[in-house]
A and B are shown apart, each in its own frame.
Chain A
Amino acid sequence: MGLYIKYFAMHLKSQMQYKVSFCLTALGQFLVSFSAFLGIYFMFTHFNTVEGFTFQETLLCFAVVLMAFSLAEMLGRGFDLFPRMLGNGEFDRALVRPRNVIFQVLLSQMDFSRLGRVIQAALVFVYAIPNSGVLWTWDKVVTLILMVTCGSLVFFGLFLLYAAISFFTVEGLEFMNIFTDGGREFGRYPFSVYGENILRFLTYIIPLALFQIYPLLYLLGRVTSRLYMLLPLVSLLFLVPCVLLFRLGLRRYKSTGS
């Protein structure tokens, strides 16, 4: 953890060398996700509810997914740029250092310009939390925290999966963006609006729904079972195959060197 903070400081110091670029990128990130917000807004000027969710309820969902994604992206950017790290030989450097390899990849990049998105998500929370009609008892607060943290870890797992696959293909695989960026974009609305098959896929295969729609139903008081509150924790199981695949890829790398 100490080392994490040290790296954090170094990345911050590096990026502050280019203040203008930093601010403009952060602003850009903010505007892009703001347009997503507007999309939802205009949708609701025509319809009062989407599949039984009001504007404020949907915003809560939007904020959870955006926050989870942005935190994961800010901290797990190293995986996103992993194909480059493999290509330019930086990864060999990680292998000659006495630290865990996944940890080092994670530390290799941090992108603070993504703060624009984090701020946006925070603003939406500020609006949606009091207006969503949720009675904020302690269990609801815990649920919300679980949704954001576990969601962030699941996105993190997706980034790790992306990195693991690039061991086998060298080039990064754009199709993975369907789940990462796509997860963020489609996650603006509760996943149940996309129909049963997609919901099933997002429950059992790529468990984005486990930290989104199910605990959301609990938050809104539509279900009362505590199970729904704890489903975000179940989504963490997704990290197991991600880590295993990365390990497998690492073993292959060590025997092929490319």
Chain B
Amino acid sequence: MISLKSVRKTFRVAKRQAGFSRAVKALFSREYELVRALDDISFDIRDGEMVGYIGPNGAGKSTTIKIMCGVLTPDSGSCSIDGRTPWKERIAHVREIGVVFGQRSQLWWDVPVADSFQLIRDIYKVDGASYRKTLDELTERLDLNEILKTPARSLSLGQRMRCEIAASLLHSPRTLFLDEPTIGLDAVSKIAVRQFIKKLNAERGTTVILTTHDMQDIEALTERILLIGKGKILLDGSLAELKKRSPEALDMTSEEMVAALYREFKI
């Protein structure tokens, strides 16, 4: 159970101006601008739900995910995940979550993937028997058998993403955060990743929170969409519900509909 209540987060960003004289001036006195990254964000996610978190770049998606992972502390508001406040009980909290940052790797570049997995097992102190069971299952589901002995640097992007997802699940987390998991993947890999996530959610009941710009991810995976823009939750509902909002939307593809929504909310 995830519950966010009026979470606010403001960043102080140094104003940067073009021109040499201004750059020199900035050395001595910086002007700061307050950017409201999150402005009164509230939502609840039940156990076993699969939620798509969408919004344009810079809308506050990553900030929300970081708060839920315990990386960032909000200015105000509360966040409770399985009864814990992430930034207060970091270690107990992160034991129960898995995080995939689509743009960054947690695998060791120069050693076989299997060794990276082994090290993650030691970091999370997973006991031998359940580790083997989980690994066998993940290997089969994600078709990793051939690539476990390969160093990460020799993997294709699709292969690497499959390994990243496996790496985030070795400790059997209750909640999985996926930050753009299909970015840059080819069609086959995308479908493989989606099918895997769907099965994981159905069979293990893992709660999945997914940010993406790929509407097909959303269509294939999530029942529920949270649309965020300018730090506020603008819509919360299923894709079908969103389509019902206006008559034109019915004939649109999901992509067009989202673009229409961005225009409608001017985000």
Q: Which residues of B contact A2 (CB under 8 A)?
A: 122
**How many residue pairs between the two chains, A and B, have CB atoms under 8 Å in the bound complex?**
71
Q: Assess the B101–A14 pair: CB atoms within 8 A.
A: no
A93 at the interface (CB under 8 A from B): yes
What is the bound-complex CA distance between A16 and B73, given in angstroms?
40
Q: Assess the B119–A6 pair: CB atoms within 8 A.
A: yes
Option from A3, A14, A93, A257 in Cβ contact (under 8 Å) with B63: A257
Q: In the complex, how many residues of chain A place their beta carbon closer than 8 angstroms to a beta carbon of chain B?
A: 24
Q: Assess the A95–B95 pair: CB atoms within 8 A.
A: no
Q: Assess the A95–B71 pair: CB atoms within 8 A.
A: yes
Nearest-neighbour CB distance to chain A for B124, whole angstroms, equals: 6
Q: In the complex, how many residues of chain B place their beta carbon closer than 8 angstroms to a beta carbon of chain A?
A: 32
B91 at the interface (CB under 8 A from A): yes
Nearest-neighbour CB distance to chain B for A21, whole angstroms, equals: 12
* A257/B71 contact (C-beta < 8 A), A2-B122, A92-B66 known: yes
**Chain A residue at minimal CB-CB distance from B72:** A257
Option from B11, B69, B122 in Cβ contact (under 8 Å) with A96: B69
Q: Assess the A13–B111 pair: CB atoms within 8 A.
A: yes
Q: Assess the B123–A3 pair: CB atoms within 8 A.
A: yes
* A14/B12 contact (C-beta < 8 A), A6-B119, A96-B70, A257-B71 known: no
Q: Which residues of A contact B87 (CB under 8 A)?
A: 254
* A14/B71 contact (C-beta < 8 A), A3-B122, A93-B101, A97-B94 known: no
**Chain A residue at minimal CB-CB distance from B98:** A96
Q: Which residues of B contact A93 (CB under 8 A)?
A: 99, 101, 104, 106
Q: Assess the A96–B94 pair: CB atoms within 8 A.
A: yes
Nearest-neighbour CB distance to chain B for A78, whole angstroms, equals: 14
Q: Assess the B119–A95 pair: CB atoms within 8 A.
A: no
Q: Assess the B115–A13 pair: CB atoms within 8 A.
A: yes
Nearest-neighbour CB distance to chain B for A186, whole angstroms, equals: 31
Nearest-neighbour CB distance to chain A for B70, whole angstroms, equals: 7
Nearest-neighbour CB distance to chain B for A232, whole angstroms, equals: 33
Q: Assess the A10–B111 pair: CB atoms within 8 A.
A: yes
Q: Which residues of B contact A256 (CB under 8 A)?
A: 11-12
B108 at the interface (CB under 8 A from A): yes
Residues in A lying within 8 Å of B, measured CB to CB? 2-3, 6-7, 10, 13-14, 17-18, 88-90, 92-93, 95-99, 254-258
Residues in B lying within 8 Å of A, measured CB to CB? 11-12, 63, 66, 69-73, 75, 87, 90-92, 94-95, 97, 99, 101, 104, 106, 108-111, 115, 118-119, 122-124, 151
Apart from A3-B122, A10-B115: 12 A-B pairs, beta carbons within 8 A: A10-B119, A14-B111, A17-B111, A17-B151, A88-B104, A89-B101, A97-B94, A98-B95, A98-B123, A99-B91, A255-B73, A257-B66
Q: Which 8 A-B pairs have the closest CB atoms?
A: A14-B110, A17-B110, A98-B95, A98-B91, A254-B73, A95-B71, A96-B99, A96-B94
8 contacts between A and B (CB under 8 A): A17-B110, A90-B104, A95-B69, A95-B94, A96-B69, A97-B123, A255-B72, A257-B63
